[in-house]
Structure 1
Amino acid sequence: METFIRGDFLEAKKWMEDNYNPFILNYLILFVFFLLFLGLFNDLLFSTFAFTVFTLLLSFINRYKHMFLGENLYPWDVLLYQQMFNLFPELIKEVNKGKLAIAAIGVVLIIATIIFIKKKIGFVVFRLSALKRLALIVISVVLIVSFFLFRSTPLKRLFNELQITNINWNQETNYKINGFLLSFVLNTESTLVFPPNGYGKENILNTVKDLENRLPAEKPEKTLTRHPNIIFIMSEAFWDPTRLESVPFSEDPMPTVRKNQVGWLLSPQFGGGTSNIEFEAMTGLNVSFLPTGSIAYQQFVGHSLPSLVSILKEQGYEPTAVHPYYNWFWNRENVYKYLGFNQFISLDNFKDATYRGPYISDKEVNAKIINKTESTDKPDFIYAVTMQNHGPYEKGRYKDDVKIKIDDSELSDESKYSLETYTQGVVEADEAFAELIDYYEKSEEPTIIIFYGDHMPFLGADYLTYKEAGYVKDEKWSLEEYQRMRQTPLVVWNNFTDEKIELPSISPSFLGPHILDLAQIEKPLYYRFLEEFSKQMPGYTTSVKNDADGNLYKDTPDNVKPLEDTYERLQYDLLFGKGYSKEALFGSGT
């Protein structure tokens, strides 16, 4: 299992030697599962076969999740079973068909061999009496449950004595040191979100009252005769590849974005987890208060939730979500309703669309946006998520139509070709953005466009391209490197004022107050609180944080701790709790 996941037997062997205690625990977890299989099937041959298939299947799922998203398999991923089934036809395209055929033939031959041995040769297999079989199943289940609930069992003490630590702040290191199975088990302690210290009705109401006294409402100065259209473009994996300073590009791949850039978005994700960035931008909540690696849309958003969508809807906006992919992906078809969107334009609505590579082009998304703003009398709020530049960035995706070349670099061929493919996607995203700006510059409707990348691209296993280019080190990263691996370009453009705002490195959670100010819309109390927090700590992620002066932190500094505690309590109340603060924070209409 570890050899397959790591891709190298010698690396797996070195892990076993250097991390003996985690290796033994991984082995014991597997052995207990084998005992369960034996108790269930009561047949040594078939139990061994079924257990082997189970082990290999887990390995395959983990490997391909890491390949596509740059993340390992987590306990909460079991909630994504429907998505996995829906996505299976797309994933199967990436699997080596020859190897898959060999594996299938191997499975058939093993089953046939088991049947032949048992029926023709009369091979005697190991069997248990009914009582012993029941005892084995019960013992196995109890042990498995103990593993997954180790916080409240004697296993917690065993883990402590063996110096086993759940490195949940760095899951890549966690899985490398503790191994796949043990890391998976350790992560179960983060699947539940418990109330933060001080959560309760009286405390929450006192917190809200304090905020109301400290952050009174201010009427914005009105210079517009109508609310402006507000258009978010969350461009898939958009980033500035010229930040790889050692790599020579033949020309600038993103001149329009560079000209209009107002700062950097500090993404909570790398290489995947797009919906978490969306979650932060739309709700003002922060995934740093959620279990590491979790997907808020899939796990936690199961009811109506106050959001930027609902706020603007109260102001008379027509809210629309656009994403040229399956509507079930990341549970968007349900979550968008909970957030308040009136319409979701998904893959099914992109009939006869132009594709660039395997995905619908960014310019087709432009067409949907323009059509929407032209067809409604109300001001529009549109949240658009593009898909064209989604990985993997295979060689030849754009055939010979690659505008920018990489010459004389120290990159391997694998990194060079994937980076060229990715950069062509950046070129076309920038061109699509330029077309959108050109259109709304001529429009009589006041319009704001917010453009940013959701996360940086996944360019090779174990950050291959970034390491070859010297962008990050091979060993432990500094806070500066963590920040570099989370920043994407941010543009806030409008067609009704020449004043250009400048923003620090900022989390998606804190975009809302700036957009409401620019749109000349009064901020609800919650967004006034977000504004207060972001003035102290505009960049707030699990990996790295930055204050307004650009100073970097791993842990929240003491002077921001009180605001952080308030933020966490309010988020718990809105997302998991009783909603004591909802009306005061957002008004009775949300």
Structure 2
Amino acid sequence: MALASVALVWWLDLALRWTFEPALLWRNALPVFLVMLLIYGLSGRALMALLLGGGIARLVFEVNAIKELNLDEPLLPGDLVLWHQVLHNMGFFAHYTGHRLVLLLLALLAAMAVLWAIWRLEGRWRRPHWVARASWIVLSLLLLGTLYRGIGPWREAYADEALPDFQLWDPIDSVQHVGFMAGLVRMSQEADTTIPKADELLVRDFAARHIADLKARMTRQPPADLPDIVVVQSEAFFDPGVLKDMDYGVFVPNFEQLAATGITGNLTTPTYGGGTIRTEFETLTGYPMQAFPSVVYPYYGLVGGWMPAVPRRLAALGYSTTLYHPFSGSFWNRRQTMPELGFQHAYYRQAFAGAERAGEYISDRALFDYVLAHLDDGGSGPHYAMAITMENHGPWDFDVGMLANVLGRRPLPKSLSAAGTEEMVYYLSHLVNGDAALGDFAKRLLARPRWTVLMFYGDHLPALPSAFADLHFDDDGLEVQEHTRYMLVSNRPLAPRKLDLSSYDLPALLFDTIGLPEDGYLAFDSVARQAWAQNHYQDGVKYGQVLFNAAQLEVACRRKLDAAGDCGSVPSQDQPQPGVARKE
């Protein structure tokens, strides 16, 4: 079993196949061997342990390959929290497997037949005594548990000295150097610490040097006339003009025209190809995901009802807060999380029954029409609406269907391969369709007599591996390093300007532009951005560290920071909680 484990990981893992490093081989093979040993103890059948353990390892590698292809990220320990998401949304996830799903099902059926035959065959052979089997079970479970928790010598065995090319903040590059199984063990060991210890002195020193600005923002009185606020998180939105042989604005003319009237720029987001909730979490709370490197999915374990998120802050000012998302409320755990963040109402897929679709999902136009209808019927008070689109959700290699002619005279680069053309035609058709819907939506929204602010941003770049490999980006960067776009516009005068931001900066930008009070971490974000601009955008890493540590400090103590950089405010959980109404 030990030899089979080594041979198996060497065969399955390209990171190991092109080099022969015994130290890396045994570190990658050990988890597979321990699983085989556990199966051997449970069944008492050696061939069964070899084949079933090997099959499980092969399945894990296949799932990892699918995730790497679509998200440019390997399987992570945090993915375990999604097992029920996969079971309840098999149709959705099946789109990402392509032909692999059929092959996996066929392989599963064949494996079941072979395992049944081996079970019957080995049942006639002599098996180990139950005491020996119990010993193998206990030993394998003990070693697996301590291995993945990093207890005893295991932490040193997978430490930086043993895996010098491992970098926690870059998991895809790490597993390509140290191997998938070894990387998974190391990431599991690191995942025990969900909130790093903040450098409190760094935060307090920054606060001491900017205390006047912090106090001014925290005590700022809101405008007497509060605007309606509409935030649109657009699925996989970016301007293809960042690609070679493609021009800016050709496929998103409405966005570019609107953006020119307000605040706009590039947006750095914490995910690529998927993982929408990482960007969503940042834009709702202002906390950078980089401050919590071991947290993969913030809606599982990190979010709490105490957090002073954007909807919770606005509800305290008298806003009605509503979420619109034409997909399952259980997906990404939104049904539980959104009320904790302050949304009083939520409309999910069933509320959009019969709505127009564009391909696989509800169209952006249908979603925007729904938002407008509810804004106009929602009473006289100020409204905060967040719309999360679905139309241009991946994978992006489907038949474009009814949108076949939407690209019109917009030519595609001749350097695209057949696979790249398929991806770009599907993606761009929905991008153009969504951009037209945005133009119509903004025209009607901003024509309303009430003061209205619209924030629109893309949550991440789409995973178009073939197209990106064919075209390359203007700056010759990797797709995971590229930016989406955002804009903040209003039907009241707003000085146009270009400002490149990270997605965690958007809440502070929104509050600062309207003139709303910014307390706690939100004030630190605005003051840090202001100080960075006054420093001519030098030493960005220094200001980033201030924000990361301020976020860690506020989340760890579960209270909003005061102007001195201390967690001295009244706990947010003691404040009145808004009521919640949800409609599927």
Q: Which bin holds the TM-score, normalised by the shorter protein?
A: 0.7 to 0.9
8 Å CA contact retained: 1:208, 1:581: no
CA shift at 1:402, angstroms? Answer: 3.5
Aligned to 2:502: 507
The aligned residue for residue 107 of structure 1 is 111
Cα deviation per residue 1:478-507 (whole Å; 9 max; x = unaligned)? xxx36983411111111122x234242111
1:116-157 Cα shifts (integer Å, max 9, x gaps): 5357xx4x25x2222222222222222212321336435515
Q: Distance in 2 between matches of 1:33 and 1:10?
A: 16
> Distance in 1 between the 2:292 and 2:390 partners?
26
Cα distance per residue 1:190-224 (max 9 Å; x no partner): 31224515569xx99999898765522357698x7
Select 1:380's aligned residue among 383, 389, 404: 383
Letter in 2 for 1:437: A
- How big is the shift at 1:309? 0.7
For residues 19-65 of structure 1, give each alpha carbon's deviation from its aligned partner in whole angstroms, at most 9, with x where no partner exists: 54322311222112211111122122332333133223312322333
CA contact (8 A) 1:211 1:529 kept: no
| Alpha-carbon distance in structure 2 between the residues aligned to 1:271 and 1:167 | 21
Asked if 1:583 corresponds to 2:570, the answer is yes
Identify which of 398, 404, 407 aligns with 1:403. Answer: 407
Q: Check if 1:412 corresponds to 2:413.
A: no
* 2:453 is the alignment partner of 1:448: yes
CA contact (8 A) 1:310 1:340 kept: yes
RMSD of aligned alpha carbons = 3.6
Q: CA–CA distance in 2 between the matches of 1:287 and 1:576?
A: 18
Displacement of 1:470 after TM fit? 2.6
Gaps of 5+ in 2: 578-584
TM-score in terms of structure 2 length: 0.85
- Kindly provide the CA deviation profile for residues 532-555 of structure 1, in whole angstroms up to 9, marking residues without a partner as x: 1222458xxxxxxxx9745686xx
1:527 maps to which of 495, 517, 522: 522
Distance 1:163 1:233, change over 3 A: closer
Matched AA of 2:347: I
Q: Distance in 2 between matches of 1:162 and 1:206?
A: 37
Tell me which amino acid in the other structure corresponds to 2:388.
V
The whole-number CA distance in structure 2 between the counterparts of 1:157 and 1:525 is: 41
- Matches of 1:581 and 1:221, distance apart in 2: 21
Cα offset for 1:98? 4.6
**CA offset at residue 313 of structure 1?**
0.5
Given that residues 392 and 458 in structure 1 are in contact (C-alpha distance below 8 angstroms), is that contact kept between their aligned partners in structure 2?
yes
* Alignment partners' CA distance in 1, 2:106 and 2:548: 54
Structure 2 counterpart SS, 1:341:
coil
1:569 aligns with 2:553: yes
Q: Which moved more, 1:485-494 or 1:12-21?
A: 12-21
**Contact 1:146/1:155 (<8 A) preserved:** no
Is the 2:244–2:474 contact (alpha carbons within 8 Å) kept by the matching residues of 1?
A: no
Q: Which runs of structure 2 are paired with 1:72-83 in the superposition (5 Å)?
A: 72-83=74-85
Amino acid at match of 2:330: W
Compute the displacement of 1:78 (Å). 0.9
Contact conserved, 2:269 with 2:483, CA < 8 A, in 1?
A: yes
For the 8 Å contact 2:318–2:382, the answer to whether it is kept is yes
Q: Would you say the 8 A contact 2:525–2:547 is kept in 1?
A: no
Distance in 1, matches of 2:548 and 2:359, equals 43
**Deviation by residue 1:286-307 (Cα, 9 ceiling, x = unmatched):** 1111125611112311444211
Q: Is 1:204–1:580's contact at 8 Å kept on the other side of the alignment? A: no
CA distance in 1, matches of 2:431, 2:483: 15
Alignment correspondent of 2:365? 363
Classify the secondary structure of the residue corresponding to 2:265.
strand
Structure 2 residue 180 is the aligned partner of structure 1 residue 193:
no
**Which of 13, 16, 19 is the equivalent residue of 1:17?**
19
Which one of 435, 440, 453 corresponds to residue 435 of structure 1? 440
Find the counterpart in structure 2 of residue 171 from structure 1: 171
User: Secondary structure of the residue that 1:517 maps to in structure 2?
Assistant: helix
Aligned to 1:136: 136
d(CA) in 1 for partners of 2:499, 2:169: 24
1:415 partner SS = helix
Summarize deviations over 1:246-282 as a string: whole Å, max 9, x none: 2479x81111111222212111111111111111111
Q: How does 1:180-259 map to 2 (within 5 A)?
A: 180-191=180-191, 192-197=193-198, 215-217=214-216, 226-247=225-246, 252-259=250-257
CA shift in 2, pair 1:172/1:32, >3 Å: same
Q: CA 1:216/1:63 → structure 2, altered by over 3 Å: closer, same or farther?
A: same
Separation in structure 1 between the aligned mates of residue 118 and residue 364 of structure 2, nearest angstrom: 53
Does residue 485 of structure 2 align to residue 489 of structure 1?
yes
Q: Distance in 1 between matches of 2:232 and 2:447?
A: 19
Displacement of 1:319 after TM fit?
0.2
Task: Specify which of 457, 467, 477 is matched with residue 462 of structure 2.
Answer: 457
Of stretches 20-29 and 229-238 in structure 1, the one that deviates more from structure 2 is 20-29
Of residues 397-406 and 337-346 in structure 1, the stretch that sits farther from structure 2 once superposed is: 397-406
The answer on whether the counterparts of 1:512 and 1:527 sit within 8 Å (CA) in structure 2 is: yes
Q: AA paired with 1:488?
A: T
CA contact (8 A) 1:217 1:525 kept: no
| Letter paired with 1:357 | G
Post-superposition CA distance 1:364-387 (Å, at most 9, x none): 110121012111122110111101
- Return the alpha-carbon distance in structure 2 between the equivalents of residues 374 and 562 of structure 1: 41
The residue matched to 1:230 in structure 2 has which SS?
strand
CA distance in 1, matches of 2:73, 2:58: 18
Determine which of 389, 393, 396 is the counterpart of 1:393.
396
Paired with 1:149 and 1:420, the residues of 2 have a C-alpha distance of 46
Identity of aligned residues (%): 20
- How far apart, CA to CA, are the structure 2 residues paired with 1:17 and 1:209? 53
| Counterpart Cα distance in 2 of 1:358 and 1:294 | 27
Once the two structures are overlaid, the 10-residue window that deviates more, 103-112 or 422-431, is 103-112
The CA deviation at 1:436 is 1.1
Structure 1 position 350, deviation (Å): 0.6
Structure-2 change in CA distance of 1:581 and 1:331 (3 Å): farther
Count of aligned residue pairs for this structure pair: 559
Structure 1 Cα separation of the partners of residues 511 and 544 of structure 2: 24
| 1:389-418 C-alpha deviation (Å, 9 max, x unpaired) | 111111422352341554452221111220
